[in-house]
Each structure stands twice: as structure tokens, then as C-alpha cells.
Amino acid sequence: MHHYISTIAKKTSVFVVLMTFSSLAFSQEDLKGNVSIGPQTSIDQGLVVLYQQDTSNEYTKVAEDTIKFFDEGFFALENIQDSGVYLLKAKLDTHSTYYEDYFPTYYGDTLFWKDADTLQLSGNSGLRSVTINLVEGVGQSGNGTISGQVIEAGPGKRKGPGDPQGGVEVLAIGSNDDPFGYDETDSAGNYKIDSLPNGQYNVRTEIAGFQATEILVSIDQNNQTADSTDFSVDKEEGKVGPTTYLTFTDERQDLQLYPNPADHRITVEISDQANANRLNLEVLNMAGQKIITQSFIQGKNQMKLKVNQLNKGVYMVQLKDSNQSVLGTGKIMIY
């Protein structure tokens, strides 16, 4: 059985685990169990992952087991540490017969780590056995698509894209908390959730131990695609939220936009005061419709952007010059 350091772990938690991993005392006990999709049906192909809570209450992946067809849903994680607090999660392989219908699920039969039951393992001898029942999704029967990219954020990366984050789960949850679809990002950090019916969706990531901020997306007859629903993983802060940096085609511009997310007013500030009066800021909804246009006042390098009239959600921002050339694009979130 293998033990791993998670590639999505916070940088601080990775340091703690690396310092203590070699000194851990392991027992020969196993954590065993079964993964099912109902009282009579076990999964055919899948993966079970064990996360351990460290001294900072952060979670790091420490073991996993692959479930194959002949295993009949059973798994065994060997050489578990004598004591500690753990989260256990199961998901289907992409080749599973049931892959389109069931979501990755934590022990406690929930989609999210904050709602999961923790395992308090001790050094007592004997078999430890658990069962995970995968959460069934709502049948998808529409033409809507939500897609985007998950990248790294944090100090030094707030004004531009960081490294793409592969292996991150992204979920589309309906207005009644019903799970409609999910995807896992590829090596380029990209994901795509399709076949969604018309409606509003809270789109969010799920990484054990990370605080997640949702993006509200609407799919309707006139807007069947939301293709820029991007997220940033801040490993220093242990948070995941909408990607809100501005990407400039003219690197001489230095613009700050704060607070973001916001609920009432956003301050927009640019360092190039001499040319600020030649610049316009446009706010567009995710369908590309222009909602707000505002210009810098001559002699001022700062403007106040009122956003309290906007509905909750994510909006595109464009900075344009007097020739209507786009100098930069980004996103703001209204809550």
C-alpha cells in the first residue's frame, strides 16, 4: 500500500508532514470497507483516498486503494498510523458503468469535507471497517455547459495566472442543493460540465481542508454556455475562489481593484495618472452583455464603481483605451 503527499496540500501543511512523516509509528492494522451505490449494489471500479488531519487542522492525502471489478466494492488501506483524525473519500473510475450517475463521496455520505464524518482511529487491535454510499446525481437532460480553469493563486500571483491545478473536483449544485454534474480538472487545469438543464447553479471546487467560495451561474434559453467560470487555489490561505486577477496586454498598466468580492462599491485605481482619463472600465455579465461603463475623471487615477445594483454572481471586467482597444480583462464577484 502506498502513502502520498497531496499535490493540492497547503504549503504549510506539506512542511509539517515532511518533518514528521519519518518518525510516525505505524501499526499493522488495516482500514477496510465497502463502497456501494445502494443497499444491494457495490461499485465496479473506483478509488478510495484517506486524508489525515495535522496539527494545524489541515488535511493531507496519506493513502489510497484502487477498487477493481473483481474486488466487488471492497478496499483495504494498510499500515495506518496508530492514532489520528482522518477523512475517507471514494469516487468512481471514469471507466465505471456508473460514472455518469454518482458523485465522489466522503465517509458520512456527503459531497463536502466540512460535512463529512471524521474517523477517530486508535491503536486498538482488531478490524476497522466502514461503508461509503456514493451520492447519486440528478439526471442531466439539457444543453447547458459550464467550463473553466483552476489555477494557483497566492502571493506574487494575484495579478496573473499561476500554475494550472489538475485533479481538482468542480461541482454544479442546483438551487435545491441537488448535485447536477461534476468534472475533474485535467493537467492543464481545465474542466467541463455539460448536459445541464436550464436553471441556476452554484459552481464550486472541492479540496479536503480548503474553504470554497461558490460562483453563481445561470443557464437559460439565451445563455446555454458559461465558459469562463474560473477558480484560483490559494495554498497559503487554504482557500479556493473565483479567479479575479486582471490580465493585461499592456504590461505598463498597473491597476488595482478592491475589495473583490464586494457587495456595495469597488475602488479602481491605476498607477498611470497621466493617461487615466483616457481609460474606460466596462462590466459585463457572463453572457457578454455590457452592464456598466465608467471613465476615469481627468486628473484622477481612482474611481468608485457602484455595484450594489448588480445581482449576486461573477462579472467580467474590461479596461479599454480611447481607441476601444482592450488593455486588460478580469472578473469581479458580487455577493
Q: In the predicted model, what is the mean pLDDT of residues 285-299?
A: 86
> Is residue 72 a contact partner of residue 11, using CB atoms and an 8 Å limit?
no
Rounded CA-CA distance 284/292 in Å is 7
CATH 2.60.40.1120 region(s) of the chain? 11-136
Rounded CA-CA distance 219/143 in Å is 9
At residue 115, the pLDDT reads: 96
- Per cent of the chain over pLDDT 70 is 81
Cα angle value 267/288/321 (rounded, 5°): 55
> Is residue 219 a contact partner of residue 198, using CB atoms and an 8 Å limit?
yes
At residue 285, the pLDDT reads: 87
pLDDT band at residue 148 under the 50/70/90 scheme? very high
- For residue range 186-239, list pLDDT tens digits in order: 999 999 999 999 999 999 999 999 999 888 888 999 889 988 888 888 887 788
Q: pTM (2 decimals)?
A: 0.71
Q: In the predicted model, what is the mean pLDDT of residues 75-93?
A: 87
Question: Is a pLDDT exceeding 50 seen at residue 126?
Answer: no
User: In what side-by-side order are the strands of the sheet with 255-258?
Assistant: 255-258, 265-270, 302-306
Asked if CATH classification 3.40.640.10 holds for the domain at 11-136, the reply, yes or no, is no
At residue 14, the pLDDT reads: 32
CB under 8 Å to 15, separation ≥6 — which residues? none
For residue 315, what is its C-alpha cell? 462579472
CATH 2.60.40.10 region(s) of the chain? 144-242, 247-334
CB under 8 Å to 263, separation ≥6 — which residues? 307, 308, 334, 335
Asked if CATH classification 2.170.120.20 holds for the domain at 144-242, the reply, yes or no, is no
Q: What is the CATH number of domain 247-334?
A: 2.60.40.10
At residue 165, the pLDDT reads: 93
Of 8-12, 92-96, 258-262, 299-303, give the lowest mean pLDDT range. Answer: 8-12
CB under 8 Å to 225, separation ≥6 — which residues? 144, 145, 146, 147
Q: In the predicted model, what is the mean pLDDT of residues 160-177?
A: 87
